[in-house]
């Protein structure tokens, strides 16, 4: 058996490079059996990578059309990647639409605002991240990182996302330990605090292969030592592509399977008829 699901798929509705139909077609062609469509929910001023506010009905209609088209061949779930924002909590734009979603990914990308009033993001380039840390935290890296995991914990407790998105994306710009050391006791404590909340809330944590493809080996989420802790704590795990191009619908899946087997994983979680169930791979 192989891994046959991907619940983190972008498209032209946000910052993906292909149409939703092309993404779904690629999933079917590569043999996936269960997928979730997850555009970035609209954020004011961030139309470059989030969905235009006026397109949400069209988004639901297109997913429904594809569900009808593929039928039993491919389970397609209506999802969204929704930001947990430090100032407003779960992106309020989605409040009227939550009951139309089969599931959602909760992600923390924004930790503060810049001088011009826009959010700054942990997954922007490192120069902008550094500016943001200076502005919001007076350069205090430890406080920045601890807040990041604190927001992640609050998000899973208060908003109950099905999946916590790229749980350690705070390390995206940490190549060569530019900002912090992952083996520092305070960093481990921050991660463990979040894992305890995820365990309690039965949140599914994703292995996210999208960063790896776009930004290099240090952007494989989560880090290996965290994957081991997830196993030890028996927290639900799934494998997602955070896919932005149709060719990458199951990018790095074979390698992830080998990695998981080497860590004695025998199952991950999958959606079956809208319920999260273990799947032996």
Give the binding range for Zn ion (CB under 5 A) out of 29-37, 107-115, 192-200, 255-263: 107-115
- Shortest distance, CB of residue 40 to Zn ion, whole angstroms? 7
Residue among 107 and 174 whose Cβ is closer to Zn ion:
107
Q: Directed axis angle between helix 224-232 and helix 185-201, to 10°? A: 40
Distance CA 202, CA 156 (A): 9
The interface region with Zn ion, picked from 47-55, 161-169, 183-191, 194-202 by CB under 5 A, is 161-169
To Zn ion, the closest distance from the beta carbon of 235 in angstroms equals 20
Q: Which is nearer to Zn ion, 144 or 208 (CB)?
A: 208
- Choose between 112 and 161: whose C-beta lies nearer to Zn ion: 161
Task: Please check whether residue 77 is in contact with residue 103, taking contact to mean a CB–CB distance below 8 angstroms.
Answer: yes
CB of 263 to Zn ion, least distance (A): 24
Nearest to 169 by CA among 119, 117, 116, 205: 205
Stretch that binds Zn ion, among 105-113, 184-192, 225-233, 255-263 (CB under 5 A): 105-113
Find the helix or strand (DSSP H, E) in which 9 lies: strand 5-9
Instruction: Tell the smallest beta-carbon distance from residue 106 to Zn ion (Å).
Output: 10
Region of residue 33 (left: phi > 0; alpha: psi -120 to 50; beta: else) = alpha
Please say which residue, 134 or 247, places its beta carbon nearer to Zn ion: 247
Residues 133/134/135/138 CA torsion (nearest 10 deg): 100
Please work out the total of residues on this chain that contact Zn ion, with binding judged by CB under 5 A. Answer: 4
| Whole-number Å distance between alpha carbons of 16 and 49 | 8
Residue with Cβ nearer Zn ion (84 or 187): 84
62/123 with CB nearer Zn ion: 123
Residue number, 169 or 190, with CB nearest to Zn ion: 169
Shortest Å, Cβ 277 to Zn ion:
23
Q: Report the b/e string of 176-215 with b at 16+ CB within 10 A.
A: eeebbeeeeeebeebbeebbebbbebebbbbbbbbbbbee
Minimum CB distance to Zn ion, residue 104 (Å): 12
Strand partners, 112: 120
How far is the C-alpha of 224 from the C-alpha of 15, rounded, in Å?
A: 28
Contact assessment for residue 234 and residue 267, using Cβ atoms and an 8 Å cutoff? no
Q: Which stretch binds Zn ion (CB under 5 A): 110-118, 163-171, 233-241, 267-275?
A: 163-171
- Among 46, 75, 168, 242, which residue interacts with Zn ion (rule: CB under 5 A)? 242
Q: Measured from the CB atom, is 22 or 267 closer to Zn ion?
A: 22
CB of 10 to Zn ion, least distance (A): 6
Contact predicate 40/109, CB 8 Å: no
Interface with Zn ion (CB under 5 A), residue from 18, 26, 39, 107: 107
Compute the distance between CA of residue 173 and CA of residue 65 in angstroms, rounded to an integer: 39
Binding to Zn ion, residues 57-96 (CB under 5 A): 81
Q: Closest distance between Zn ion and the C-beta of residue 242, in Å?
A: 4
**Interface ranges with Zn ion (CB under 5 A):** 81, 107, 165, 242
């Amino acid at each position: 058996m192989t891994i046959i699901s991907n619940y983190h798929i972008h498209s032209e509705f946000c910052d993906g490079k292909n149409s939703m139909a092309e993404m779904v077609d690629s999933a079917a062609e590569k043999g996936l059996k269960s997928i979730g469509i997850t555009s970035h929910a609209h954020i004011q001023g961030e139309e470059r990578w989030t969905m235009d506010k006026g397109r949400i009905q069209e988004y639901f209609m297109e997913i429904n059309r594809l569900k009808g088209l593929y039928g039993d061949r491919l389970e397609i779930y209506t999802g969204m990647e929704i930001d947990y924002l430090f100032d407003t909590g779960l992106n309020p734009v989605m409040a009227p639409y939550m009951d139309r979603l089969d599931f959602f990914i909760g992600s923390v990308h924004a930790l503060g605002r810049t001088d011009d009033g826009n959010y700054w993001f942990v997954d922007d380039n490192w120069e902008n991240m550094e500016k943001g840390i200076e502005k919001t935290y007076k350069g205090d890296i430890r406080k920045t990182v601890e807040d990041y995991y604190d927001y992640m914990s609050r998000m899973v407790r208060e908003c109950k996302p099905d999946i916590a998105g790229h749980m350690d994306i705070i390390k995206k710009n940490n190549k060569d330990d530019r900002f912090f050391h992952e083996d520092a006791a305070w960093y481990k404590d921050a991660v463990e605090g979040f894992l305890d909340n995820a365990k309690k809330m039965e949140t599914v944590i994703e292995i996210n292969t999208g960063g790896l493809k776009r930004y290099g080996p240090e952007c494989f989420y989560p880090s290996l030592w965290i994957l081991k802790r997830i196993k030890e704590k028996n927290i639900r795990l799934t494998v997602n592509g955070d896919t932005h191009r149709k060719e990458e619908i199951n990018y790095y899946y074979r390698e992830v399977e080998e990695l998981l087997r080497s860590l004695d994983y025998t199952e991950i979680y999958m959606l079956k008829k809208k319920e999260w169930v273990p799947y032996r791979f």
